């Protein structure tokens, strides 16, 4: 079995690998959110956390989509349901991962199954995190962004990197 996790999904995939190592062959982490993000990320999560505390805030944000889409161009690719789900995830991320400042400990027995794809400027997977995990697992830098999913060109780059890793293990 191969598991692939993007951002918070990378954190989840790593937890799955730790618990189910026997059945997982590969664990691919795309721009993984594994611990405290950059200041920008912490600010975003803190704001979204507080927005979520105000029951009417979600509806207000959705009513202002047009204005928000002018500032956040990728937002036009996100449905209202996905936006609501993102607010719930941001709340969880703020309470857990964003507060973790410790080391990222990856058991030696798991390292050969892990592969990280990252980019230079990532709010959620900052260079200090990548530099730490590079010491124990293979990390592949791409010319993409954390939000690669909203760009057809960037999706192709990530897909090519994923295919290379997956098919390399099959040979």
Residue 7 zone, left/alpha/beta (φ > 0; ψ -120 to 50; rest): left
Q: What is the pLDDT of residues 10-54, one digit of tens each?
A: 999 999 999 999 999 999 999 998 888 888 888 888 888 877 777
Tell me what pLDDT residue 139 has: 93
Sequential pLDDT tens for the chain (171 residues): 999 999 889 999 999 999 999 999 999 999 998 888 888 888 888 888 877 777 677 788 788 888 888 887 778 888 888 888 877 888 788 788 888 888 888 999 999 999 999 998 888 888 889 999 999 999 999 999 888 877 889 899 999 999 988 887 555
**Domain parsing of the chain, residue ranges:** 2-35+107-170, 39-95
Task: Give the pLDDT confidence score for residue 170 in this predicted structure.
Answer: 58
The per-residue pLDDT for 103 is 86
Cβ-Cβ contacts under 8 Å for 105 (sequence gap 6 or more): none
pLDDT of residue 152: 85
Instruction: Say yes or no: domain 2-35+107-170 is CATH 3.40.190.10.
Output: no
Q: Tell me how far apart the alpha carbons of residues 43 and 54 are, in angstroms, rounded to a whole number.
A: 17
State the pLDDT at residue 46: 84
pLDDT at position 148 is: 85
Helices (H) and strands (E) in the chain, counts: 8, 4
How far, in Å, CA of 135 to CA of 35, rounded? Answer: 16
Are 49 and 90 a contacting pair, CB within 8 Å? yes
- Position 44 scores a pLDDT of 84
Distance from the first to the final alpha carbon of the chain: 16
SS3 160: helix
Distance CA 4, CA 110 (A): 15
Taking the C-alpha atoms of residue 24 and residue 6, their distance in angstroms, rounded to an integer, is 17
DSSP structure class, residue 74? G
Global pTM exceeds 0.75: yes
Check residue 24 and give its pLDDT.
96
């Amino acid at each position: 079995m191969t598991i692939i996790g993007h951002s918070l999904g990378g954190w989840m995939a790593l937890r799955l690998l730790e618990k189910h190592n026997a059945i997982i062959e590969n664990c691919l982490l795309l721009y993984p959110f594994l611990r405290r993000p950059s200041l920008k990320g912490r600010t975003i999560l803190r704001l979204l956390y507080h927005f979520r505390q105000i029951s009417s805030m979600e509806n207000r944000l959705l009513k202002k989509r047009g204005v928000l889409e002018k500032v956040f161009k990728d937002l036009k690719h996100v449905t209202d349901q996905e936006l609501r789900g993102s607010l719930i995830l941001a709340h969880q991320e703020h309470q857990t991962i964003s507060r973790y400042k410790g080391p990222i400990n990856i058991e030696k027995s798991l390292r050969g199954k892990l592969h990280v794809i990252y980019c230079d400027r990532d709010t959620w997977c900052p260079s200090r995190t990548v530099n730490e995990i590079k010491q124990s697992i293979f990390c592949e830098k791409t010319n993409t962004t954390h939000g690669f999913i909203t760009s057809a060109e960037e999706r192709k780059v990530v897909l090519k990197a994923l295919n290379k890793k997956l098919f390399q293990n099959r040979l």
